[in-house]
Amino acid sequence: MTPSPGLRITRQILIYVVLVMFACTMTIPFVWMVCASFKPHSEVEQPSFVAKQAQPSNYLIVLKKRPDPVTKRLLDLDFPKWYLNSLFIACWVTTLQVLTSAMAAYAFSRIQWKLRDKVFLLYLATMMIPGLVLMIPNYQAMVAMHFVNTYTGLILPAAFSAFGTFMLRQFMLTIPPSLDEAAEIDGATHVQIFLEVILPLARPGLVTLAIFTFLGNYQSFFWPLVMIKDDWLRTLPVGMLSFQNSYGQQTELLMAATVMCIVPLIVLFVVLQKQLVEGIQLGAVKG
């Protein structure tokens, strides 16, 4: 029996009401965090969301552009340097991981060579090893190469990914082989086919992998904690631990620092959300 139009409309309204309630529940902590970052120290513990007297200077204090009104001096922690470190390392890891994964995926999906599938399965088996188990041999390798407490030591171990290779390989397998054959007939080399044929068609998959890689490395905590000794090399997750220990009682500064930490993630999602959704949908449909 087909439900009446009035019943369908009522169901839709109820569904939207439930979704709005869930959305508000998820949004309230974020809204409070943003509002608290604009409050003066005397109002931050009050239950009201909106500050009676907004204080945008909290962000300048965290960035060491203005002295803290409580202590009357600049913060002891170098938050701007940590911010740049996280962006620098995450961008480099994302670039290298997408490049190496794409090259490996092309070799495993478009080139015929002996034992290709067995080698791929062996490479894929490394995903079953927990990351914490690999941390000790990776650290020993960095010590042997004198990369401890350097940008290279933070970037190099994360520049290769079995998951990224698997993801892009499955995506490249959906591209018709006739394109490769046509390019070979025209005299194209594997490098030209990879750069001019496969990569443009695999763009949604590349963007999806880039977003996942950037998010994972921007928020990485354990590896930088093990590798870093100097304060000027700290990344945001490690630095925020020191920030909380030193200025945890000044909630307005902690919330301002937290808001600045998540801004790059929000900007990345807003700019690349179409490619992200397209890549996930294509992977679900074709893979």
Looking at the structure, tell me whether residues 118 and 256 fall in a common domain: yes
Is 89 among the domain residues?
yes
Looking at the structure, tell me whether residues 96 and 187 fall in a common domain: yes
Looking at the structure, tell me whether residues 96 and 23 fall in a common domain: no
Backbone angles phi, psi at 4, to 5 degrees: -70, 155
Exposure string over 195-223, b if 16+ CB within 10 A, otherwise e: eebbbeebebbbbbbbbbbbbbbbebeeb
Per-residue pLDDT tens digits for 25-70: 888 888 888 888 888 877 777 777 777 777 888 898 888 888 887 7
Q: Which of 149, 161, 54 is nearest to 100 (CA)?
A: 161
Exposure string over 118-154, b if 16+ CB within 10 A, otherwise e: eebeeeeeeeeeeeeeeeeebbeebeeeebbebeebb
Looking at the structure, tell me whether residues 25 and 154 fall in a common domain: no
Which amino acid type is present at position 196?
E
Residue 287: pLDDT over 60: no
Looking at the structure, tell me whether residues 220 and 89 fall in a common domain: yes
Per-residue pLDDT tens digits for 150-183: 999 999 999 998 999 998 998 888 888 888 888 8
Non-local (6+) Cβ contacts of 274 within 8 A are none
Q: Work out the angle between the directed axes of helices 162-172 and 251-286 (0-180°, nearest 10).
A: 40
Give the highest mean pLDDT range of 43-47, 199-203, 270-274: 199-203
Is 71 among the domain residues?
no
Looking at the structure, tell me whether residues 206 and 143 fall in a common domain: yes
HEC per residue, 116-169? HHHHHHHHHHHHHCCHHHHHHHHHHHHHHCCCCCCHHHHHHHHCCCHHHHHHHH
- More reliable by pLDDT, 94 or 131: 94
pLDDT value for 283: 52
3-state SS class at 103: helix
Non-local (6+) Cβ contacts of 146 within 8 A are none
Looking at the structure, tell me whether residues 89 and 54 fall in a common domain: no
pLDDT value for 2: 61
Is 72 among the domain residues?
no
Looking at the structure, tell me whether residues 185 and 232 fall in a common domain: yes
C-alpha span between 154 and 221 (Å, rounded)? 11
Is 144 among the domain residues?
yes
C-alpha span between 43 and 175 (Å, rounded)? 58
Segments forming the whole domain that contains residue 39: 5-62
Mean per-residue pLDDT of the chain? 86
Residue 278: pLDDT over 70: no
Looking at the structure, tell me whether residues 31 and 92 fall in a common domain: no
Is 75 among the domain residues?
no
Looking at the structure, tell me whether residues 48 and 85 fall in a common domain: no
Band of residue 99 on the pLDDT scale cut at 50, 70, 90: very high
**Is the pTM here over 0.75, yes or no?**
yes
Is 253 among the domain residues?
yes
* C-alpha neighbours within 13 Å on the C-beta side of residue 29: 4
Band of residue 3 on the pLDDT scale cut at 50, 70, 90: low
pLDDT value for 151: 94
Number of domains in the chain: 2
